[in-house]
Amino acid sequence: MSAPGGGRAPRTPPFPAPRGAALLTRSPPRPFLLRWPGLLLAALLVLAWRLVGGDLGALFSNEARGALADFARGFFPPAHRPEFLAFLLRPLAETVAIAFLGLSLAAALALPLSFLAVSPEVLATRGVPPGPSRRAAYLGARAALNLMRSVPELVWALVFVRALGLGPAAGVLAIGVGYAGVLGKVFAEIFESAPRAPARALAAAGAPPLRAFAFAIVPPSSPLLLSYALYRFDCALRASAVLGLVGAGGMGTQLELSIKMLAYDEVATMVIALFVLVAGVDLLSQLARRRIRESSGLFPVGLAALRARGAVLLALGGAAAGSALLLDLPLRELLSPATLRAVGQLARASWPPDLAPAFLRELAPAVAETLAVSLLGTAIASVLGLALAWPAAQRLHAPEGGRVRGAALAAVAWIARGASNLGRTLPELLWALLLVFAVGLGPFAGALALGIHTAGVLGRLYAEALEELPLGPADALRVAGASGAAVSAFAVLPQVFPQLVAYTLYRWEVNIRASAVLGVVGAGGLGKLLYVSLNLFHHHDTLTLVAVVVALVTAVDLLSGALRRSILEGPAQSRRPAAGPVPALLDAW
Amino acid sequence: MHRHVRRLFRTLALAALLPSAAAAAELRVSAIPDEAPTELQRKFTPLGAYLHDATGLDVKFVPVTDYAATVEGLAAGKLDLVWYGGFTFVQARRRTGNAIPLVQREEDARFHSKFIVPAGSRAKTLADLKGASFAFGSVSSTSGHLMPRYHLLQNGIDPDRDFARVAFSGAHDVTAKWVEAGKVDAGALNESVWEKLLEEKKIDPARVRVLWTTPDFHDYNWTVRGDLDPKLVEKLRAAFLALDPTKPAHKAILDLQRAKRFIPTAPENYQAIEKAARSAGLIKD
């Protein structure tokens, strides 16, 4: 009947309108590229292209094709004179030895720092709330770890070579200090994410805080600690192959020489050797990590486990001693008073940093160039990486179509994975050395080098993300009759996009470190200024340059971290593919 | 069981810490890496044998990949006798205060750098190089960087502003290769290495030509560290000065070193180099 109260009241429905109705009245959201972040990114990339002197003409010129042909011809056949192969054995062994000793040093330095760098809330569960001195130690440890991480390994190597002279000692210390920063941060995060109930129980039972920590938090974390250290070993191997470029031992010296003398057959042999080495180490590390996952924790149970543990320790000790002998590097010299004095002398000679306006004016374009190289390189890599990952993620492609199609798909996947591997194996610096001959000296070669190397890395990461994708939406669309392209564009890409962006942002952090040093081989940016200042013993300039590199890297890290958090913690909660046991393994190389 | 494992491990660790066998009295020699290491080794081998006979010491050639490392090596006492360029000698003298230059080649009293361009280049004078891409040798090289830069500045060209791109090839033979292959528009290198590359047909004169030659300057010498035993210093100096081109064995050594003979030298000879370095901005006080 008529509404109470008389008059014509507005007709509201007796129940809320269905949500679909409200949605239909709103305009659909604009695609990412047309919203302001996408436009800003596009503008930055155009600016970066101009800054590095990007020139598509140079990329497709006769010279570039000639250089590429020269490089490819080196593989047919690679240098295989017996004297050359025998000559290579020692640098290869040196590379492995430097990586091994360097990583061991890094772990030894990282462990105490990571204890200090565990956050105060976790410390509180040990039974005693942390006092001000403990908090100060926490902040100091975190700052030290960040500093060690922010200086690229090559810069550490350049500085240690200047302080200690040429040779593997500088390389081992460079990897040791640089990776201690990386390992320390991840170790601290592992300790923080361990379950705290056992520590609380021990503390309640009266155990002193340190013992509660040692027996309740360290044992469950130790497989993860070992696993991560092993995971980093092949990064260390690649870093050590490059350190020879600045005289810190290993294969880099010979590689640089062969590239500079345009002896591409020798380069091919060394690339193959490096490839085999990295693949072998990768395999061993995977096996070891699987054994660690299945093992029973810190304390061995039973005599057999004890014997196995003892054998592993012996092997490690033997490897360390063997590496030291091979490198002609008495272990005690590494952290001896003479070494510390030499480093101290260099530090004293570098203070105060050079802040003359003329020098700072030289710095500004170099900083812009470095940033531009990193942006452009990462962007190129993400496009190339997606192109490589798509065929390699075989799960995505419709299984029907017969054996021929299946075989063709498998072959394309194999080629794509191979290309990713090639891009990944050769460090950015070596790609840059090769590319300066193709497209000319300068930052464009640097950006391309970064792009190719990172495309190899992102190709693998993207492929993993694509393979772990839940296929429900894709199958639903396919069953409904959508074409392959539509399935990709509307089902696969939107689901996996946040993860891909997160990986890309993470690689940008790695790339800014790489672009800071590419100038050492003529590819522009801050690296060239650093190379000149170190060679001319202009130590005050060196300090300024290192400080600028640290500031740049820290700024990029913070920006990238903030962007990643806002993307991953956005509405994409349910879409994230299952991460590994340690969230920090997003730090995937 | 655990105890045995631990003991074994500790022994191995100690073994690794033992110092390597103490070196017998040894003369550690090095040279700035201005050419490929195999070439440096080849040039040095007969000279090393000769010095071993003259001094009775084990002569060991320590290759380095970095000019600045030779300076640091002498300063840290890790090298005894080093073949330096003019500028690296000045750097070593400033670092140590007492490095002693022993001898130089006769031709080193009047040394030159050559500016080279690809044969097809249209440049006729230094000024035509503005806007080009340019390759120096190593950052610390006298004939590959310092003197070319100094003379460019004297001729009104600032390498950091007037060249499109500047690269450091690291060695003279690499500079020549890059110019020959057209990877850079021009380069500067050491005249002695240039002539050797032409003689040994490692560079094709039809593809590279010389644009300009610098005025002469002092370059290269054999230097010992200042705290070396003075008797040994005298023996070394005498040994070099005794090399006689009329004796075939000595001639072989001198030819590899590309010297007619060795003559004494003194620190004053390099003051002009130091002044040039200061004016070119390579030495900042």
Under an 8 A CB cutoff, do A536 and B282 touch? yes
Asked if A303 lies within 8 A of B174 by C-beta distance, the reply is no
Say whether B284 and A342 touch across the interface (CB within 8 A): no
Question: Contact at 8 Å (CB) between A484 and A398?
Answer: yes
B31 contact A CB<8A: no
Based on the number of CB atoms within 10 Å of its own CB, is B229 exposed (0-12), middle (13-18) or buried (19 or more)? exposed
Q: Is the pLDDT of residue A11 over 80?
A: no
For chain A, the domains span 74-350
Q: Does B137 touch chain A (CB under 8 A)?
A: no
Question: Could you tell me which residues come within 8 angstroms of residue B231 by beta carbon, excluding any fewer than 6 positions away?
Answer: none
- pLDDT given at position A7: 47
Contact in structure between B140 and A536 (CB atoms under 8 Å):
yes
Q: With DSSP H G I counted as helix, E B as strand and the rest as coil, what are the percentages for chain B, rounded to 5?
A: 45, 20, 35
The verdict on a CB contact (< 8 Å) between A535 and B66 is yes
Task: Please return the burial class of B235, using the count of CB atoms within 10 Å of its CB with bins 0-12, 13-18 and 19+.
Answer: middle
B170 touches chain A (CB under 8 A): yes
Query: A522-573 pLDDT, tens per residue?
Result: 777 888 888 888 888 888 888 999 999 999 988 998 888 888 887 776 544 4
Q: What does the pLDDT read at residue A127?
A: 58
Q: Which CATH architecture is the domain A74-350 placed in?
A: Orthogonal Bundle (1.10)
- Share above pLDDT 70 across residues of chain A, in percent, rounded to a whole number: 85
Among A270-284, A504-518, A545-559, B71-85, the minimum mean pLDDT is found in A270-284
Q: Please report, in angstroms and rounded to a whole number, the separation of the first and last CA atoms in chain B.
A: 64
Confidence of residue A20 (pLDDT cuts 50, 70, 90): low
Query: What is the average pLDDT score of chain A?
Result: 79
CA max distance for chain A: 107
The answer, for A537 touching chain B at a CB cutoff of 8 Å, is yes
Q: Which domains does chain B have, with CATH numbers?
A: 26-109+219-272 (3.40.190.10), 113-213 (3.40.190.10)
Give the range with max mean pLDDT: A262-266, A524-528, B61-65, B259-263: B259-263
Q: Does A321 touch chain B (CB under 8 A)?
A: yes
Higher pLDDT, A229 or A587: A229
Q: What is the mean pLDDT of residues B46-75?
A: 87
Question: H helices within B170-262, ranges in order?
Answer: 172-180, 191-199, 230-241, 248-256
pTM for this model (two decimals): 0.79
Convert the pLDDT of each residue in A91-144 to its tens digit: 888 888 888 889 989 998 998 888 888 877 666 665 566 677 778 888 888 889
**Highest mean pLDDT of the ranges A228-232, A414-418, B86-90:** B86-90
How many angstroms away from the CA of A337 is the closest CA of chain B?
Answer: 14
B97-147 confidence digits (pLDDT tens)? 899 999 999 888 888 999 999 998 888 999 999 998 899 988 889 999 999
Nearest CA in chain B to A326: B16
* pLDDT reading at A207 higher than 70: yes
pLDDT at A577: 42
Please tell me the predicted confidence (pLDDT) of residue A332.
67
Measured CA to CA in angstroms, residue A229 lies from A99, A377, A382, B88, B221 at distances of 12, 28, 27, 42, 49
Min Cα–Cα distance to chain A from B248, Å:
31
The DSSP bridge pattern shows strands B100-105 and B221-224 to be: antiparallel
CB contact under 8 A, A531 and B139: yes
Cβ–Cβ gap A522/B283 under 8 Å:
no
Chain B residues closer than 8 Å to A522 by CB:
167-168
Instruction: Count how many pairs of residues, chain A against chain B, have C-beta atoms within 8 Å.
Output: 108
Interface residue A299 vs chain B (CB under 8 A): no
- Mutation target to probe the B interface, by most B beta carbons within 10 A, among A254, A350, A355, A535 is A535
- Contacts with B183 from chain A: Cβ below 8 Å: 436-437, 440-441
Query: Per the CB < 8 Å rule, is B16 touching A324?
Result: yes
B 61-100 near A (Cβ less than 8 A): 64-69, 71-73, 76, 78, 91, 95
Note the pLDDT of residue B236.
92
Q: What pLDDT does residue A562 have?
A: 85
> If DSSP codes are grouped into helix, strand and coil, which group holds residue B221?
strand
| Concatenated DSSP letters of A431-450 | HHHHHHHHH-SSHHHHHHHH
